[in-house]
Structure formats: C-alpha cells, structure tokens
Amino acid sequence: MLTAYTSDEIRAAERELMSRLPEGTLMRRAATGLAATCAGLLPAVYGSRVVLLVGAGDNGGDALYAGAYLARRGARVHAVLAGRSAHEGGLAELRRAGGRTLDLRGADAHADPALARLIDRADVILDGLVGIGGAGALREPYVTLARLSAHAPGIVVAVDVPSGVDASTGEVEGEAVRAHVTVTFGAVKAGLLIDPGASHVGLLSPVDIGLGPWLPEPGVTALTGPDVADRLPKPEPESNKYRRGVVGVVAGSDRFTGAAVLTVGGAVRAGAGLVRFASAAEPVRYVRARWPEAITTILAPGEGVSEVGRVQAWVLGPGMGTDDDAHALARSVLRSDVPVLVDADGLTLAARDPSLLRRDAPTLLTPHAGELGRLLDVPSGEIEARRLHYARRAAEELGVTVLLKGSTTLVAEEGRPVRVNLTGTPWLATGGTGDVLAGIAGAFLAGGLSCYDAASCAAYVHGLAARAAAGDPRTGEAPIAALDVALELPGALRALTAGA
C-alpha cells in the first residue's frame, strides 16, 4: 500500500531524524538522489545544460547541491537565484564545482532576455523554488519562471513538490510549475496524488532518506494491485450464486435505458453471483436482451422493491429519473437493511431530500463534483479545487462512505485514511462509465466487502479495465465507450489476480 503524508507530518519526521544525524546529512541524501535521477534523464551528463530555479528554502539547497554533483560530472550548470536568499552551503558548493549563477533578486524577470534564453536552451530544469511548506499562489519572479519552464523544450524536474502545488492537499492557486518528473524525498506527499496538484507532478520518483520510523499513521493511502487482489471476493469450492452475493439494481427509465444496461453489465462482469434488476418495462426489456443472466422485475409507477427478492446490497440511481415515483422507489430501497450504493439520479433525490440518507445500514455515495456540490450546497468548481477537503467533509457530515469521481478518484470514510485511486485513463471521461463503476462496486458490496473496500477496489478495477479497453494496460491511449470497460472486466480481474 502506498502511503502519503502532509507537509507538517513530513517535517516532524525530518526533525526527529535530523536530531540523530550530523548537520546537513539529510539534504545531501536528498540531493544525491535528485542528481542521480537527473543524470538518468540525460543521454550524457557531460556537456549537458542544467538550469536550477532556486528559491530561499531547503528545496533550493537541494537543487544547488544536486547541481554541484552534476557540474562535477561535466554538466554546464546555471543557478537562477530567485529567492530573497539562497542556501549558503549549497551555493558555495555549486560555485566550487564550476557552476554559474544568475541573480534575479531585485530584477524584473519579464524583461530579462538572457533568462529566457538560458531556460529555453536547458536540457534539464530543476524547480527548487518553493518547498513543501509553501502555500497560496506563487508570486513574482516565481510566476515568470514557472511560465518559462512550461514553454521550454527541456525536462522539468520538480524538487520534492512542483512549486505552486500545496503538498498536503493538492490544491493549486494560480500558476504552478508543470513537471515531467517529481523527485520527492522521504515519503510521498498527499498533494502529489490528488488533483489539481497531481496533474503537475508527471512521473513520481520517491527517494528514501530514512524517515520511515518517524512517520505517523497516514491520512492518505492508495491501494496497489496486490492490495486489491487480497481484498476481492473469491468463490470457495462450496460457493453457489447466493453465497457469492446477490446484488439488486434499480436503474434506468424509459428515457435512460442505457444506464440500466451498463450498471447491470458492470455487476455481471465484475463477478456478482446473481443480479436482480428492477425498473420500468422499457429498461427491463433492454437488460433482458443484453444480460440474460439477470433476474428482472417490472415495477409499476410508485411500486417499491419489496417483491424483487432478497439481495445482499443495492445499487440505486443511474438513469432512474427524479420525479415523485422515483423518489418513492428510492425511499423503498433506502429503507432496506443492507448496504446501498447511491449514484446519479439517486444523488439528486438525496440532495433534495437529505432524510433519504438517514439510515442505519451502510451507505456508499458515488458522486462527481457537481453531484457532491449539490449534496453539500457548494459550487462544483470549489469541489474540484479542494477535492480532499470536501470528500472528507461529505463523509463526516452525511455519515456515509464517499467515492468522489474525477481525474483522481477519492474514497473517504470518517475515521479512515482517504484512499486515492491510481488507475484509470482520461478516456474514462465519457458517458456511462460511472454506471459501470456503480455496478462493479455493487457486486463487491454484495460479495461481502465493506463500503470502504468495495469503493476502493471497484475504482481500481474500473481503471484497469478502462486502460485495457483503451489499448494500453499501463496508461490507456485511445477512445473508449462505457460498454468497452464492462466487457474488459474479467480480463482485468484475471490480470490482477495473476499479478498478486
């Protein structure tokens, strides 16, 4: 399992370790790892051009010491001194190694053509402007340097965290450096995993400097493939379809028949023992045609689910509508004593009538930013900007587990670390993929997983299937449709189990 920490937690651990080591040891460890990463990015260190963007903090010192190591190996290193001061020991070492400096203190970075040429010609640009303690928007000359690095052809390497990204939360106010590689020291910072900050990180390259024994329990984690494989429901020799988990699905309407097909498909292909589907006649007809494995029930307007049959979990909401009949149906499902996943139109109904979520059994909500905004009465843009904060707030205020969908999916439950999902592809941003995700999570709930584990594992498997559908099991590289994701689920699950 990948663990991640706030900047305060990292600095506390650093203080504990530094008290046991000679002065400067940690900075040299970090700089050595940083220099080694930079060397590995270059065809040859000798003769390469390296530019250091140096602020006043320890990240600037890391950059200076790393630059000195590279200069001693024959790189042409220039340090752009942009902070009020620079780390004296690192600056002295760089100069002894033959590195040069360009002092911006008191200068107008906008009006310096030599600066623009220097950055534009660099093979590697090290961003050591702001450290993990930085908060708020960048100021000049850092803003200009961030913009120049964004348009330069060289490789941008962030030192510990891209400047302008809040290391604890991933929040970004204004301009921020966009790195190709982020070399982070000691432990992963939570903000490097969560958008919008995560989109500035590039390839994340951790360097161990010995903090492990002094790190606390993490507030943010991410499951790896083996973690997910260990948690997934698995049939035993004596299993039957009922023991493997029966999931009930209430989804679709005469207008949104596809949501029903996709949600049921996600549950079927994710390995539910049995799927019971209940809806109006038209979506039932489509589900029967595409997924004959499902047991279907046609519901009359205003009818509840009491006659559908026993289930171990419900999926409620995709495409079901939001009228009075839909509200009555939602109340019928949410009065049950089994876990319920609420998605899409179910979330809209809950935002209008919060009493729907006042229940004793476990509840999992799977909103995107707009839906979570309606539940919390917060603009969706604010949710996107502070995803970690609002996922935690929703879980606490609503008394539920929250899977916040988006470019980085978060799973929050009160009293537990927030889990970040690290699989997926931008091609998932297409209609219907959320319905498939709801079906997957519903199957895992019915199989006996908690809301917390079902949501985390479903997001991971959903992302793997999407990458496979997009043609690249690592990143995904081509357009996909939602049904493609459902159809790839068995292969994704096989690969996950084989790699565990």
What size, in residues, is the chain?
500
What pLDDT, on the 0 to 100 scale, is given for residue 241? 75
Mean pLDDT calculated for residue range 66-91: 96
pLDDT in tens, 185-219: 999 999 999 999 999 999 999 999 999 999 999 99
The answer to whether the annotation marks 405 as part of a ligand binding site is yes
The answer on whether 452 is annotated among ligand-binding residues is no
Distance of CA 123 to the CA centre of its chain: 30
Is 108 annotated as ligand-binding? no
Is the entire prediction scored with pTM above 0.85? yes
Q: What CATH number is attached to the domain comprising 243?
A: 3.40.1190.20
Question: Does 337 count as an annotated binding residue?
Answer: no
**Least trusted range by pLDDT, from 60-74, 143-157, 462-476:** 462-476
240 is in an annotated binding site: no
Would the annotation count 425 as a binding residue? Answer: no
Asked if pLDDT for residue 358 goes beyond 70, the answer is yes
Examine the fold and report which residue of 201, 219, 237 is the final residue of a domain before the chain moves on.
219
Mean pLDDT for the chain overall: 94
CA distance 418 to 421: 10
Final residue before a domain boundary, out of 196, 219, 242: 219
Ligand-binding site membership of 368 (annotated): yes
Please report, in angstroms and rounded to a whole number, the separation of the first and last CA atoms in the chain: 13
Task: Judge whether 406 is annotated as a binding position.
Answer: yes
Judge if 204 and 231 occupy the same domain.
Answer: no
List, in order, residues 6 or more apart from 431 with CB less than 8 Å away: 482
Is 234 part of any known ligand binding site?
no
Number of folded domains that form the chain: 2
The verdict on 206 and 232 lying in the same domain is no
Which residue has tokens 């999926």? Answer: 315
Please name which of 275, 317, 311, 282 lies closest in space to residue 296, comparing C-alpha atoms: 275
Indicate the pLDDT class of residue 234, thresholds 50, 70 and 90. Answer: confident
Show the domain range for 49. 2-219
Burial class (CB in 10 A: 0-12, 13-18, 19+), 349: buried
Q: Determine whether the annotation assigns residue 286 to a binding site.
A: no
Q: Is 499 among the annotated ligand-binding positions?
A: no
Whose structure tokens read 């006042």? 358
Q: Does 309 carry a binding-site annotation?
A: no
Sheet of strand 220-222, all strands in order from the earlier edge strand to the far edge: 188-189, 2-5, 220-222, 418-420, 410-412, 401-404, 363-365, 340-342, 313-316, 246-250, 274-279, 295-298
**Residue 142 annotated as part of some ligand binding site:** yes
Q: What is the pLDDT of residues 301-335, one digit of tens each?
A: 989 999 999 999 999 999 999 999 999 999 999 99
- Helical spans, DSSP H, in 380-481: 380-385, 387-398, 433-446, 451-469
Whichever domain contains 19, its CATH number is 3.40.50.10260
- Does residue 474 have a pLDDT over 70? no
Query: Both 194 and 239 in a single domain?
Result: no
Residue 472 annotated as part of some ligand binding site: no
- Asked whether residue 211 falls in the same domain as residue 300, the answer is no
Is it the case that residue 236 has pLDDT exceeding 90? Answer: no
| pLDDT score of 274 more than 70 | yes
Please count the other Cβ atoms lying within 10 Å of the Cβ belonging to residue 479. Answer: 11
481 is in an annotated binding site: no
pLDDT at 298 over 90: yes
Q: Is 434 annotated as a binding residue?
A: yes
If asked whether residues 79 and 21 sit together in one domain, one would say yes
269 and 401 fall within a common domain: yes
- Residue 411 CA to residue 364 CA, distance in Å, equals 10
pLDDT score recorded for residue 87: 94
Instruction: Identify whether residues 230 and 212 lie together within a single domain.
Output: no
What is the predicted pLDDT for the residue at 114?
A: 84
**Same domain? 143 vs 248:** no
Annotated binding-site residue? 484: no
- Residue 254 annotated as binding? no
Q: How high is the pLDDT of residue 379?
A: 97
98 annotated to bind ligand: no
236 shares a domain with 155: no
Instruction: Give the pLDDT band (50/70/90) at residue 111.
Output: low
Of 219, 234, 256, which residue sits at a domain end?
219
Instruction: Confirm whether residue 67 is marked as ligand binding.
Output: no
Tell me, yes or no, whether 239 and 159 share the same domain. no
Q: Encode pLDDT of 461-473 as tens digits.
A: 999 999 999 986 5
CA–CA distance, 365 with 354 (Å, rounded to integer): 13
pLDDT tops 80 at residue 240: no
| pLDDT of 156 above 70 | yes
pLDDT exceeds cutoff 90 at 134: no
| 166 marked as binding residue | no
pLDDT at 348: 98
Q: Show Cβ contacts of residue 361 under 8 Å, excluding neighbours closer than 6 positions.
A: 336, 337, 338, 339, 340
The DSSP code sequence of 327-357 is HHHHHHHHTSSS-EEE-THHHHHHHH-GGGG
Segment 445-457 shows an average pLDDT of 98
Report which residue type is found at 106: G
The continuous run of DSSP H or E covering 205 comes out as strand 203-207
**Whole-number pLDDT of residue 107:** 67
163 is in an annotated binding site: yes
pLDDT for 478 equals 82
Mean pLDDT (whole number) for 425-446: 96
* Residue 242 pLDDT greater than 80, yes or no: no
**Whether residue 258 sits in one domain with residue 201:** no
pLDDT at 152: 96
Are 192 and 341 members of one domain? no
| Residue 480 counted as an annotated binding residue | no
